[in-house]
Amino acid sequence: MSEIAETILTKIDEGFVGRRKSKPRAYIGGSNIGGPCEAALSFSLRGFPDDEPPPKTQRIFALGHALEDLIVADLKHSGITVIDRDPETNWQFAYKKYGGHIRGNADGQIEVADGELALLEIKTMNAAKWRAFVKKGVAESHPQYIAQMQTYMGLGGFEKAVLLGYNKDTSEYHCEVVEFDLIEYHALLARAERVMGGQAPRVTDNPDDWRCRFCFKRGACREGRKPEKDCATCLHSVAQDDGRWYCKLKSETAQELCDDYRIWTPTEE
């Protein structure tokens, strides 16, 4: 590779450093409620800092978001009724519970029968993951997607969800309809409630486990990266159903940071 070409590629990657300047989420997202690690869910709920994804990963995310607009356009051009914006807000459909401690945005709603709307989730996949989805079905190939859809169906009152998968390598589509499972939905809420109550162990004690190596909360969990000091990141706080935090030490709704602040850490099994 020539020096000029190498310089161009290096500068492209450097342009992504520090690009993500927004504050980390401070809630359990529907997209990660089914993730493997409850400690990661708690770090997210409490607003601990994220590790900055590598430039390549940031570009993958950006491409996925751009493709979603094209996929919605394909659906609409086909004559399928799709509602991709909440008419009341003109933003994506937002769902939340426990005062916002659980929340997420769905890709839209899609008509599956005469007048019947289902939840719509769009996922762009590389060829290997798309083939697994086609061969095995989403419950086996991507259980985290199932958890996300069950959460949104429960919060939004849907009986069905449509997962539309797009192969980024071949532009092929595959589609699966998922039925609402009340038992699974309540199991996911129970998991979130455990995390809200402070009980959130790591998925493994091995920091070299692949689930840890690719976790955006690794810095906070394994490398001592410090959060902002507030009641949400304090060991003594648990999340209330109304969206606020409760101080176990003072037996009252948390009001402001005090001298008893201790950083929350994952619990043991």
Phi, psi of 47 (to 5 degrees): 80, 25
Question: Could you tell me if 254 and 237 are in contact, meaning their C-beta atoms sit under 8 angstroms apart?
Answer: yes
What pLDDT does residue 19 have?
74
Which residues share a beta bridge with 245? Answer: 239
Query: Model confidence at 157, in pLDDT bands (50, 70, 90)?
Result: very high
What pLDDT does residue 7 have?
76
Query: Model confidence at 234, in pLDDT bands (50, 70, 90)?
Result: very high
What pLDDT does residue 200 have?
96
How far is Cα 72 from Cα 82, in angstroms, rounded to an integer? 8
What pLDDT does residue 115 have?
85
How far is Cα 179 from Cα 63, in angstroms, rounded to an integer? 29
Question: What tens digit of pLDDT does each residue of 186-220 get?
Answer: 999 999 999 999 999 999 999 999 999 989 999 99
How would DSSP label each residue in the chain?
Answer: --HHHHHHHHHHHHTTTT---SPPP-SEETTTTTSS-HHHHHHHHTTPPPPPPPHHHHHHHHHHHHHHHHHHHHHHHTT--EE-S-TTTSS-EEEEEGGGTEEEEE-EEEEEETTEEEEEEEEEE-HHHHHHHHHH-HHHH-HHHHHHHHHHHHHHT-SEEEEEEEETTT--EEEEEEE--HHHHHHHHHHHHHHHTT--B-S-S-TTSHHHHT-TTHHHHHS------SGGGBTTEEE-TTS-EEETTTTEE--S--TT--B--PBP-
Contacts of 124 (CB under 8 A, 6+ apart): 63, 64, 67, 68, 71, 165, 166, 168
The structure tokens listed for 21 are 């300047």
Mean pLDDT, the chain, rounded, equals 93
Q: What phi-psi label fits residue 133: left (phi over 0), alpha (psi between -120 and 50 degrees) or beta?
A: alpha
What pLDDT does residue 2 have?
85
Max CA distance (Å), the chain:
65
Q: What percent of the chain has pLDDT over 90?
A: 82
How far is Cα 239 from Cα 210, in angstroms, rounded to an integer? 29
pLDDT of residue 21 exceeding 80, the answer is no
Question: Could you tell me if 71 and 122 are in contact, meaning their C-beta atoms sit under 8 angstroms apart?
Answer: yes
How far is Cα 232 from Cα 40, in angstroms, rounded to an integer? 15
Q: Where are the domains of the chain?
A: 3-228
Class of the domain covering 3-228 = alpha beta
Q: What is the pTM of this model?
A: 0.91
The structure tokens listed for 210 are 């692949």
pLDDT of residue 268 exceeding 70, the answer is yes
Counting Cβ atoms within 10 Å, is residue 210 exposed (0-12), middle (13-18) or buried (19+)?
exposed
The tokens 């769905």 sit on which residue?
106
pLDDT of residue 68 exceeding 70, the answer is yes
- Section 44-65 average pLDDT: 91
pLDDT of residue 185 exceeding 90, the answer is yes
How far is Cα 16 from Cα 166, in angstroms, rounded to an integer? 26
Question: What tens digit of pLDDT does each residue of 83-102 get?
Answer: 999 999 999 999 999 999 99
What pLDDT does residue 186 have?
98
Question: What tens digit of pLDDT does each residue of 127-136 get?
Answer: 999 999 999 9
What pLDDT does residue 269 have?
67
